[in-house]
Amino acid sequence: MKHDIQLMVNGDSYSLAIDPSRTLNQVLREDLNLTGTKLGCGSGDCGACTVIVDGRSVSSCLTLAVEVDGKEILTVEGLAPSGEKLHPIQEAFIEKGAIQCGFCTPGMELSAYHLLSQNPTPSEQEIREGLSGNLCRCTGYNKIVEAISVSADRMNRKPSKRKSR
Amino acid sequence: MKRSGFDYYAPESISEAVVLLSDLGENTFVMAGGTDLLIRKRHGMIFPDAVVALKKIKGLDRISVGPKKGLVIGATALLADVAAHKGIQNKYPAISDAAKNTANVQIRNMGTVVGNLCNASPSADNAPALLALGATLSIAGPQGDRTLALEDFFLGPGLTALKPAEIVIAATVPPPPANSGAAYVHLSARGKVDCSAVCIGAHIELQGRKVNNARLFVGACAPIPMRTPRAEKTVMRKVFTEKLAEKAGAAASEEALPITDVRATQDYRNSMVAVMTKRALLLAHKRARS
Ligand SMILES: Cc1cc2nc3c(=O)[nH]c(=O)nc-3n(C[C@H](O)[C@H](O)[C@H](O)COP(=O)(O)OP(=O)(O)OC[C@H]3O[C@@H](n4cnc5c(N)ncnc54)[C@H](O)[C@@H]3O)c2cc1C
Ligand code: FES
Ligand code: FES
């Protein structure tokens, strides 16, 4: 039996009728065409599918869409809603060369977003712990850690920017 | 034919959930965070006809620390919230350490402590500390409510003492006795992310410099998280020293029954049970003294 759900994704509201066994990852990518959220392992290990649900980072491959009915979801598309002006985290990723193939990047950036929302001034160790659920096959992580550290500094200097996301 | 989909129910009360579980039949699964359940489905280990989700039940995610009731961790309380809870960090640091060392950030934002217990993995990271601290489980079911010591809960890998249609409502840890301390230490191949190769929960009570009570549990080294009574006996009524902790570690290593698997070899696990038991005792002792 299909379930009627209401999703609030990046500020837009969607009404959907979905099979309850479908994951949030499937619904985002297949029904809403929001393909910025990736599917890697499908088993909670790689973090490529990370999205923010009600302020917390989760693996969308292990989240049933029916379970997030009525909740607020942020995907990588929502980090730069205008499509032009990038989020400070994204700017820093580009600047620091923290992106190679880019497959892990949306998940990395949303994990960074979650980390900085909980801890605006993380140490290097805390950044690494904050990324414990995200794998990257290309960069060796150092550039990613640097990028997050730089974006944290900038976001703290301009707190108004952070709120407007 | 095996079906790929399932029906989904999200009852709003415990009694409704119990009725659903009794009515829907055997191939129905309780779901808290789903981080174990959905993986088992994905790997084709289970093909649920129906899932009964607990998240909509109000108040089931509560975490409370009180002087009389001790610590109560509701069935849908997230690993992340248990790890970050100030009251738990203060009074039950072994419990918050265990939750903090389970899985990764995203999984802790989804998975629960009680789900970790109900999944009954021999390496469940939250089991040893809760066992060492004498936790009990509150269970609701078609025959009414009951309380069970966590020590009587695990029957084998993936097997628990839950009867059909029973749900664990909460895990409760009694208030820590005076001059007591507990610790959780673990070891895994890749740092924080993967499941433990060895994990230890230790609890000791001191009377002066002597150990008056000890509870020691080893995870990932037997079909269930196991108690090591000979190691406990080694420290009982003795003056606590590092040497004594080491002796207890050696005893625990003799008692543990590890196997070789992807996470570690049997030999390595045996050696590490000794080392980690000693470390857990030293930390528990330090906490008991402060
Ligand atoms: C990438 C990844 C890494 C992981 N790392 C670790 C790790 O380091 N250490 C570790 O110990 N675990 C780890 N796990 C396993 C898992 O995340 C934990 O066991 C988690 O605590 C399970 O909680 P849950 O709420 O998601 O359980 P669920 O998947 O919802 O449930 C687990 C099982 O318990 C049953 N159940 C759940 N709640 C109840 C209840 N209240 N009453 C009766 N039955 C119930 C379900 O039917 C199911 O069989 C990992 C998992 C993933 C995907
Ligand atoms: S795709 Fe979800 S964690 Fe890898
Ligand atoms: S940039 Fe290729 S996986 Fe991270």
Give mean pLDDT in consecutive 10-residue pieces for chain B, a chain of 290 residues.
81 98 94 97 94 97 96 98 98 97 96 98 95 98 98 97 97 97 87 75 97 96 94 97 97 89 85 94 97
Confirm whether B30 is domain-assigned.
Answer: yes
Counting as low any pLDDT under 50, the low residues of chain A are 161-165
In terms of domains, do B194 and B271 share one? yes
Confirm whether B2 is domain-assigned.
Answer: no
Domain stop point among B152, B173, B194: B173
Pocket test for ligand 2, best of A26, A29, A45 (most atoms within 8 A of CB): A45
In terms of domains, do B124 and B197 share one? no
Domain stop point among B173, B200, B216: B173
Nearest CB among A21, A44, A129 relative to B107 is that of A44
Domain that holds residue B22: 7-53
Nearest CB among B39, B55, B193 relative to A67 is that of B55
Confirm whether B70 is domain-assigned.
Answer: yes
Structural domain count, chain B: 3
Distance A39 CA to ligand 2 centre (A): 6
Quote the distance between the C-alpha of residue A64 and its chain's center: 17
Confirm whether B1 is domain-assigned.
Answer: no
- For ligand 3, residues with CB inside 6 Å are A 99-104, 136-139
Q: What CATH number is associated with residue B277?
A: 3.30.390.50
In terms of domains, do B18 and B37 share one? yes
Contact B192, B102 (CB under 8 A): no
In terms of domains, do B130 and B188 share one? no
* Chain A nearest CA to B58, separation (Å): 15
In terms of domains, do B112 and B48 share one? no
The per-residue pLDDT for A29 is 98
CA distance A98 to A87: 15
Domain stop point among B115, B140, B173: B173
Mean pLDDT computed over every residue of chain A: 95
In terms of domains, do B132 and B228 share one? no
Residues from chain B contacting residue A58 (CB–CB below 8 Å): 106, 109-110
Helix (H/G/I), strand (E/B), else coil: B194: coil
Q: What share of chain B is helix, strand, coil (3-state, %, to 5)?
A: 35, 25, 40
In terms of domains, do B190 and B249 share one? yes
pTM of the model: 0.95
In terms of domains, do B86 and B27 share one? no
CA distance A53 to A87: 18
- Quote the tokens at residue A103: 């497959």
The per-residue pLDDT for B258 is 84
Contact A137, A46 (CB under 8 A): no
In terms of domains, do B37 and B85 share one? no
In terms of domains, do B72 and B169 share one? yes
List of domains in chain A: 3-77 (3.10.20.30), 88-156 (1.10.150.120)
Q: B192 at the A interface (CB within 8 A)?
A: yes
Contact B221, B271 (CB under 8 A): no
In terms of domains, do B209 and B187 share one? yes
CA distance B53 to B9: 6
The per-residue pLDDT for B186 is 92
Question: Could you read off the pLDDT of A53-71 as tens digits, one per residue?
Answer: 999 999 999 999 999 999 9
Angle at A111 between CA A109 and CA A116, to 5 degrees: 95
DSSP for residue B251: H
Contact A25, A92 (CB under 8 A): no
The per-residue pLDDT for B227 is 97
Confirm whether B29 is domain-assigned.
Answer: yes
* Chain B nearest CA to A83, separation (Å): 26
Question: How far is residue B240 from each of residues B143, B209, B210, B234, measured CA to CA in Å?
Answer: 46, 6, 6, 10
- Quote the tokens at residue A83: 């499509």
Question: Could you read off the pLDDT of B87-125 as tens digits, one per residue?
Answer: 999 999 999 999 999 999 999 999 999 999 999 999 999
Neighbours of B127 (CB within 10 A): 29
Neighbours of B140 (CB within 10 A): 20
* Chain B nearest CA to A108, separation (Å): 12
The per-residue pLDDT for B267 is 87
Q: How many CB pairs under 8 A join A and B?
A: 74
Question: Could you read off the pLDDT of A41-51 as tens digits, one per residue?
Answer: 999 999 999 99
Q: With CB atoms and an 8 Å threshold, state whether A133 touches B107.
A: yes
The per-residue pLDDT for A165 is 44
Nearest CB among B7, B43, B80 relative to A20 is that of B7
The per-residue pLDDT for A83 is 83
CA distance B257 to B272: 12
Closest CA to B218 of B256, B249, B245: B256
